[in-house]
Amino acid sequence: MKTAVIIPVYNHEKQIGDVIRRTEELQLPIFVVDDGSTDNSGVVAGSFPGITLLSHAENRGKGAAILTGLAAAGAEKCDRAITIDGDGQHNPEDIRALLLSVENGESCMVVGSRQGMDNGANVPWTSKFGRKFSNFWVWAAGGPLIEDSQSGFRLYPVVESLQLDVKARRYQFEVEILVKARQQGIIIKEAPVQVVYQPKGERVSHFRPWLDFWRNSVTFNRLIWIRLLRMLQL
C-alpha cells in the first residue's frame, strides 16, 4: 500500500524544518499544507525540494488543511496517509508504530496515543483536561472509546476518510472524524507514540482553551443530537 505523510503547518517556522528533515528519513511522499501562515513557514517548507508544498491563501483551520492534504495524497494514488503536527510535538520515527498496527493491508484508522500525558514534563493542564473531556464525549456521540481522541498523529485511509462528510474544519475535525468513521464501520486502533512539549515560551500553540472548548462543545452537541435522532428513527 502506498503511504503518504501530511504535515499541516500554521506559523511554525522554527519547528517545521526539523519535522520535515526527520520525516524525510522514512522515504515516504510528504505533503506540507501551509494553512495561511503569516510567518516564513511556507518559505522554510518550500526549501525542501523533495516535498509537495500546498498553500491556503488564508487560515482555514487544521481540519481544512488535513482535507487538502488527503485530497492531494489521493490524487497521487496513496492508499493511506499519516498526519503529523508541524510544531515538533511528535517524533516522526513513531510513524513506524502506526504502520505496524495495520495488519495484512486492512483499511483502518490508527490514532497515536501520546504516552506520559498525565505526568510528562511541560504538559499544560489544558491538554490533560482536554483529552479526558474529548475522550468521553467522542464515546457519548457514538464514536470509539479510546485513550487519546485529540491526538493529531494518525493514520487515515485516504478514500474512506474523504467520504465521511465531516463538517468541522478546525481542531474539531479530528474528533468528528472519529465519530463518523465508527458509524461507517471503519476499524479504529491506537498505537503508543511519544510526545514532546517544549517549555513554556518555546512551543508555539494555536489552541485557545476557552474558544476551542466551546467549539468542541458545539460539535459534540451536534453529533449527539444526530445520534439521538437516528436512534429514535430505528
Domains and CATH numbers, the chain: 3-233 (3.90.550.10)
How far apart, in whole angstroms, are the C-alpha atoms of residue 125 and residue 132? Answer: 11
Would you state the pLDDT for residue 205? Answer: 61
Would you state the pLDDT for residue 196? Answer: 84
pLDDT under 50: residue ranges of the chain: none
Note the pLDDT tens digit of each residue in 170-201: 989 999 999 999 999 999 999 999 988 766 65
Burial of 58 (0-12, 13-18, 19+ CB in 10 A): exposed
Average pLDDT, the chain: 91
Please tell me the pTM assigned to this model.
0.89
How far apart, in whole angstroms, are the C-alpha atoms of residue 2 and residue 106? Answer: 13
- Comparing CA positions, the residue from 143, 9, 188 lying closest to residue 89 is 9
Would you state the pLDDT for residue 60? Answer: 97
- Beta strand 154-157 pairing with 108-114: antiparallel
> For the packed helices 209-233 and 125-140, what is the interaxial angle rounded to 10 degrees?
10
Which residue type is seen at 99? L
